């Protein structure tokens, strides 16, 4: 509220200035008589009112510029977050060694699509999608969709901004160690 106080004060000054000009015009048009004031005082009031309106225009311009800058910054952060999420998805999918089909299913599942919707999009049966989602959950070390999504949210919300490192790959049991 403290930050808004100067803007509120300038808004009030602008309202008083606008009231002065509008009442002056209306009194002339309607013919309302008022107590005459000296021309020096009238000039001072008009200069003050004009200054108040110009000040309002300048402050409005500054606020508009700040709002546009903040919007641009927010859009840039959103763009970076979107890119970071896409990178994070790719990294985790590679870490879990998902097949291309599993990657598609995982992406659709993370987007919140139902098993039936995923099956329809991929032109496969719901049973196939269920088998693929179970394989994804097993490879990711989770028990369901909410836990899968939470893995990505945790990475994106880390305080240091870093993405958790990928763990060292376990030696493949099918390849004999020499």
Query: pLDDT (tens digit, 9 = 90+) per residue, 111-148?
Result: 899 999 999 999 999 999 999 999 999 999 999 999 98
Please report, for the domain that includes residue 129, its CATH number: 1.10.10.10
**91 in a domain, yes or no?**
no
**14 in a domain, yes or no?**
yes
Q: Single out the residue of 45, 62, 161 nearest to residue 34, CA to CA.
A: 45
pLDDT given at position 101: 93
- Domain tally, the chain: 2
pLDDT given at position 59: 84
**89 in a domain, yes or no?**
no
Same-domain pairing of 11 and 65: yes
Return left, alpha or beta for 52; rule: phi > 0 is left, psi -120 to 50 is alpha, else beta.
alpha
**161 in a domain, yes or no?**
no
State the Rg of the chain over Cα.
32
Enter the DSSP assignment of 110.
H
CA atoms of 111 and 121, how far apart (whole Å): 13
∠ CA 24-29-34, nearest 5°, is 50
Q: Answer for the pair 118, 108: CB distance below 8 angstroms, yes or no.
A: yes
Structural domain containing residue 127: 96-156
**172 in a domain, yes or no?**
no
Q: How far is CA 146 from the centre of its chain?
A: 23
- The answer, yes or no, to whether residue 93 has pLDDT greater than 70, is yes
**168 in a domain, yes or no?**
no
> Residue 82's CB: how many other CB atoms inside 10 A?
10
**123 in a domain, yes or no?**
yes
**88 in a domain, yes or no?**
no
Same-domain pairing of 147 and 101: yes
Q: Is this structure's pTM higher than 0.75?
A: no
């Amino acid at each position: 509220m403290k930050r808004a106080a100067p803007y509120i004060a300038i808004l009030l000054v602008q309202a008083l200035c606008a009231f002065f000009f509008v009442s002056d015009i209306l009194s002339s048009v309607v013919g309302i008589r008022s107590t005459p004031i000296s021309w020096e005082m009238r000039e001072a009031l008009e200069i003050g009112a004009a200054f108040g309106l110009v000040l309002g225009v300048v402050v409005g311009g500054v606020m508009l510029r700040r709002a546009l800058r903040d919007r641009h910054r927010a859009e840039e952060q959103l763009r970076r977050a979107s890119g970071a999420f896409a990178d994070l998805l790719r990294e985790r999918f590679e870490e879990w060694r998902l097949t291309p089909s599993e990657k598609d299913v995982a992406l659709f599942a993370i987007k919140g699509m139902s098993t039936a919707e995923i099956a329809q999009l991929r032109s496969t049966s719901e049973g196939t999608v269920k088998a693929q989602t179970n394989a994804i959950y097993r490879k990711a070390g989770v028990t369901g969709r909410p836990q899968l999504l939470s893995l990505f949210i945790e990475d994106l919300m880390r305080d240091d901004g870093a993405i958790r490192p990928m763990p060292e790959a376990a030696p493949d049991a099918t390849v004999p160690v020499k």
